[in-house]
Amino acid sequence: MGSIIDGKSFAAGLRARVADHVAALKAEHGIVPGLAVVLVGEDPASEVYVRNKGIQTRAAGMESFEHKLPAGISQDELMAVVARLNADPAVHGILVQLPLPGHLDSDAVINAIDPAKDVDGFHVLSVGLLGSGQKAMVPCTPLGCLMMLKDRLGDLSGLHAVVVGRSNIVGKPMAQLLLRENCTVTIAHSRTRNLAELCRGADIVVAAVGRPNMIPGDWIRPGATVIDVGINRIEEDGATRLVGDVDHASAAQVAGAITPVPGGVGPMTIACLLANTITACCRANNLPEPEGMGS
Ligand code: NDP
């Protein structure tokens, strides 16, 4: 039976380090890092995420600016909000909660964010910097996955990693990060053939698909490290529960270490957002960046 990677306590540790750093920035430089979150419309899941982000931002001692905008806002009006946040010196990080309503051009909105404040790492410049191996603002979910992998395995050099999923927010940046750590990386997706065989050859499997329990234990090489990014709601015995993309019960029997769902990758994502905000704040003020916060 493999060990469980406790993302909840890992994230608590990271948030505590962020809070210490915020306190030091205040005490030594009089600077309060600020994170602005823009929510358009009333999607219930997005509202929960935004509320949690606000709570955790304030708990870390940072300033939280929440902008709730009507679903019918025009592209120009939304771009004007982003422009105001870009110009606001109290705002060090800007996050536009996705998905946006269909009439809005998400790419244009994300690319209008000042790259120095792009704490989600989705701006095309951040993507290009990461892809070309330069210092970049790294998307929060893959950053959290990498932190847990390095904590567990130390040097990742030469390990074979299979990333299942090629989205811009998880799969692709995850693969780039693993490549940067000198892994041999395979990116799998819905057209991949022999996925089971590919996974069986992997030292590291990162699953970011969005299909409940898709990866069974017999796809996992004994001793491999498994990071389950998936968050899927399933109905069971009349109740709703969350499961990952990996069949946890069978995979935990063979994996060397595995993240649970919930309590694995999920809690790390907001903690990494706070870490990215500190990094952006330090860069904006020409101060040394905090150690061990990833970007
Ligand atoms: P997307 O839907 O954007 O991407 C899913 C990827 O999975 C696509 O690349 C798709 O391939 C691939 N895929 C679909 N079916 C298969 C299959 N049968 N075999 C192999 N690959 C397949 O999802 P996201 O990347 O946004 O999210 C993935 C999961 O991670 C979701 O469950 C989401 O809820 C969760 N998530 C969790 C976060 C957290 O904080 N823990 C944050 C973000 C996401 P193709 O490109 O060919 O269509």
> What does the pLDDT read at residue 295?
66
Residue 293 is predicted with a pLDDT of 82
| Any ligand 1 atom below 6 A from CB of 166 | yes
Q: Is the beta carbon of 141 within 6 A of some atom in ligand 1? A: yes
Distance 164 CA to ligand 1 centre (A): 8
Residue 1 Cα to ligand 1 middle (Å): 27
98 lines ligand 1 (CB under 6 A): no
| pTM attached to this predicted model | 0.97
Q: pLDDT tens, 153-173?
A: 999 999 999 999 999 999 999
Is the CB of 194 within 6 Å of ligand 1? no
Q: How far is the CA of 50 from the centre of ligand 1 (A)?
A: 21
253 catalytic residue (yes or no): no
Tokens 């796809």 correspond to what residue?
A: 219
Does ligand 1 have an atom closer than 6 angstroms to the CB of 263?
Answer: no
170 lines ligand 1 (CB under 6 A): yes
Residue tagged active-site, from 56, 118, 120, 245: 120
Residue owning the nearest CA to atom 47 of ligand 1? 190
Strands 232-236 and 239-243, sheet pairing: antiparallel
Domains 29-116 and 140-267 share a fold: yes
Q: Is 118 a catalytic residue?
A: no
Q: Is 120 in the active site?
A: yes
Q: What atom of ligand 1 comes closest to residue 166's alpha carbon?
A: 9
Residue located nearest, by CA, to atom 39 of ligand 1: 266
The CATH homologous superfamily for domain 29-116 is: Leucine Dehydrogenase, chain A, domain 1 (3.40.50.10860)
The CATH code belonging to domain 140-267 is 3.40.50.720
CA angle 234, 235, 239 (to 5 degrees): 125
Segments of the chain with pLDDT less than 50: none
Domain ranges of the chain: 29-116, 140-267
Atom of ligand 1 nearest to the CA of 144: 40
